Amino acid sequence: MFQDSVVALLMLALVGTYAQLDDIISNQTVLTVNRTEEITLVLPPSSGNLEIYALPVGQGDCTIIQCPNGNLVVNDCGSSGGNRVTPQQIQAFLGNRIGDVVAIFITHPDRDHFNYLYSIPWTTSVQKVIIGATLQDYNRPSSQFAMIYNWLVNFNNAGELFTVSGGASCIGTCTVPVGLDFCNNLNINFNILAANVGTTSNQKSIVMKITSGTFTVLSSGDMEGTASTTIAGTLQGQLSSVVYKMSHHGASRIANSPTWLMPIAPRVAFASSGYNFGNCRHPRCDTINRLRNLNTLVAAPPHTIYCGNSGPPTQLPGFTQHIYETSPTSNMICFLNYTSTFLFNQACYNVTVLEPSVGLGDDECPVQLEGGAPVMAAHYTAIIVVAFLLALIN
Ligand SMILES: [Zn+2]
């Protein structure tokens, strides 16, 4: 079975015929395994095109970009747990190609974007680590932050750690004191459009547009709220992209507002999200509806995705627009791949035994729904007031 999955991925990667933008070729494979740990992911050799791989890390982000020359760039790698592949499976995915990784981005200091990085034995090929926010923003009193901070300090000591615009807010004028020509190819650009714009961790996310001819991919970490409105107002059409990795895993209350989505006008969109944690599920149905209302998505074969607002996740069957996610049903996880020849592959795994949902308890599900902080604060305030009144009565 596992050999079959390897063969399928290799075959899909070889279907590299050129297609027009409105004619994205979709390939889908579904295999069944008992547990997530049994999934064997293999990075195919370069097809000679720019390739984007979204690994099924559940509620988190781990995107690998393969250059035509085989160089690799990692854009975030972390998970909130739950039904997901592990750092060891990602290491196995890279295999001996781990020595081709030339740069690693961390969009912002949230654990579901970095907590796999320090568990993978990167080689000296990694000479550029570029972070959203400042090094000190990763110096926080928790074990996972301690791990990433020490990992970053080592790169800093080697002169290989870089912030965007010195950690200062930038929109359209961002600078990094090192070349971003990771593919050694003048036709492929990694353009940092914005970073460190707001005050929260999410709003400091690096917003990056990767361009290969007419193929463009927008990655914006967990960008949301007023920072996203300011960026959209300033950059407008510069945000326009063929492929959009939904910000904040497809959240909707303060991320992926219509103001943010409109200038992006994606032809295809995907969410790196996970199996539902209780009543919390990304992507939000509201985000999916906003994307559909833009009328910019291209057609896709009928497929099923799950979304959630509040309450149990909703299944949306028979979807024929190009919105995919790394966990399209409650027991399926998918490995997504886009190439600059407008080829889309989705290798999915039905997992019969779901992993336990653990969650991280930071700004992600399940501990706190988006916009849940004030509600929880109100609850705590009410509890404190009641306790105080009881103390007075006694
Ligand atoms: Zn996140």
Q: How far is the CA of 336 from the centre of ligand 1 (A)?
A: 18
Q: How far is the CA of 189 from the centre of ligand 1 (A)?
A: 25
In the prediction, which pLDDT does 93 show? 97
Per residue in 357-373, pLDDT (tens digit) is 555 444 445 444 333 33
Q: Hey, is 61 helix, strand or coil? A: strand
In the prediction, which pLDDT does 61 show? 95
Q: How far is the CA of 221 from the centre of ligand 1 (A)?
A: 7
In the prediction, which pLDDT does 368 show? 40
Per residue in 180-227, pLDDT (tens digit) is 999 999 999 999 999 999 999 999 999 999 999 999 999 999 999 999
**Helix residue ranges per DSSP H, 180-248:** 225-235
Q: How far is the CA of 20 from the centre of ligand 1 (A)?
A: 32
In the prediction, which pLDDT does 275 show? 67
Within the chain, which residues score under 50 in pLDDT? 1-20, 360-364, 366-386, 394
Q: How far is the CA of 110 from the centre of ligand 1 (A)?
A: 6
Q: How far is the CA of 76 from the centre of ligand 1 (A)?
A: 10
pTM for the model stands at 0.86
Q: How far is the CA of 80 from the centre of ligand 1 (A)?
A: 8
In the prediction, which pLDDT does 36 show? 86
Q: How far is the CA of 3 from the centre of ligand 1 (A)?
A: 32
CA–CA distance, 230 with 354 (Å, rounded to integer): 40
Q: How far is the CA of 8 from the centre of ligand 1 (A)?
A: 30
Q: How far is the CA of 60 from the centre of ligand 1 (A)?
A: 5
Please return the burial class of 390, using the count of CB atoms within 10 Å of its CB with bins 0-12, 13-18 and 19+.
Answer: exposed
Q: How far is the CA of 338 from the centre of ligand 1 (A)?
A: 21
Class of domain 2-393: alpha beta
Q: How far is the CA of 216 from the centre of ligand 1 (A)?
A: 22
Q: How far is the CA of 42 from the centre of ligand 1 (A)?
A: 25
Q: How far is the CA of 248 from the centre of ligand 1 (A)?
A: 5
CA–CA distance, 89 with 229 (Å, rounded to integer): 37
Domain range annotation of the chain: 2-393
Q: How far is the CA of 107 from the centre of ligand 1 (A)?
A: 10
Q: How far is the CA of 168 from the centre of ligand 1 (A)?
A: 21
In the prediction, which pLDDT does 354 show? 66
Per residue in 275-301, pLDDT (tens digit) is 665 556 789 999 999 999 999 999 998
Residues 6+ apart with CB under 8 A from 153: 135
Phi then psi for residue 23, to 5 deg, are -135, 45
Q: How far is the CA of 222 from the centre of ligand 1 (A)?
A: 5
Q: Is residue 269 within a helix (H) or strand (E), and if so which, with residue range?
A: strand 268-271
